[in-house]
């Protein structure tokens, strides 16, 4: 039922960031955010006092013959999500539907890679609630990779964390 899925994949370029949005992976390789994804994040930044948190899931590809990963699709806030100034809870079912449909359309090449949400602060750090939620996601989500990524979109920068499914350890990635 594609018509029921409220998917908004924006294609406007995020000029300021572009090529710069690469982060070193813990093992080897890099993770890159596509311009289309950056443009979506840009749009949901909490720049105004009344702006509520936004969030969704991350989808992307493992680049062949390298250890690189590119996040090139995201799901965006949907009607049944809970959005407050300092709180975001996505409706699992609704986002999952979109994740599945993107995965299917890509013939299994575009995979679920983690979660993103915004914070009303310039350079974001995860709250204790975020860390607990990420741990739950690592424990409960079914996915192929050993790691998942967690992004927080601040008003001035994006923080990227990686979580290991086996150890449940969460580590911040540095930009490269």
The minimum distance between CB 86 and Zn ion, in angstroms, equals: 8
The Cα–Cα gap between 176 and 67 comes to 15
- Residue nearest Zn ion (C-beta atom): 130
Q: What is the DSSP letter of 63?
A: P
The minimum distance between CB 1 and Zn ion, in angstroms, equals: 31
Q: Give the length of the chain.
A: 176
Closest CB to Zn ion among 109 and 127? 127
Closest CB to Zn ion among 61 and 89? 89
The 10 Å Cβ neighbour count of residue 70 is 18
Closest CB to Zn ion among 8 and 132? 132
Query: Which is the catalytic residue, given 19, 48, 53, 139?
Result: 53
Residue 94 — left, alpha, or beta (φ > 0 → left; ψ -120 to 50 → alpha)?
A: alpha
Nearest partner of 162 among 67, 38, 40, judged by Cα: 67
Q: Tell the burial category of 37 from Cβ atoms under 10 Å away from its Cβ (0-12, 13-18, 19+).
A: buried
Which residues of the shown chain bind Zn ion in the complex (CB under 5 A)? 127, 130
**53 is known as an active-site residue:** yes
The minimum distance between CB 169 and Zn ion, in angstroms, equals: 19
Closest CB to Zn ion among 115 and 130? 130
The minimum distance between CB 16 and Zn ion, in angstroms, equals: 23
* Active site residue ranges: 53
């Amino acid at each position: 039922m594609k018509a029921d899925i409220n998917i908004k994949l924006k294609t406007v370029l995020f000029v300021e960031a572009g090529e710069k949005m690469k982060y070193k992976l813990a093992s080897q390789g890099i993770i890159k955010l596509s311009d289309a994804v950056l443009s979506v994040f840009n749009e949901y930044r909490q720049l105004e006092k009344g702006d509520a948190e936004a969030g969704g899931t991350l989808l992307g590809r493992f680049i062949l013959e390298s250890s690189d990963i590119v996040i090139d699709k995201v799901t965006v806030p949907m009607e049944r999500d809970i959005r407050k100034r300092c709180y975001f809870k996505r409706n699992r079912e609704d986002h999952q539907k979109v994740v599945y449909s993107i995965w299917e359309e890509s013939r299994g090449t575009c995979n679920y890679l983690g979660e993103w949400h915004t914070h009303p602060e310039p350079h974001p750090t995860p709250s204790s609630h975020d860390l607990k939620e990420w741990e739950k996601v690592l424990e409960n989500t079914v996915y192929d990779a050993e790691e998942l990524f967690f992004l927080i979109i601040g008003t001035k920068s994006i923080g990227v964390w990686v979580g290991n499914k086996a150890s449940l350890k969460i580590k911040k990635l540095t930009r490269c």
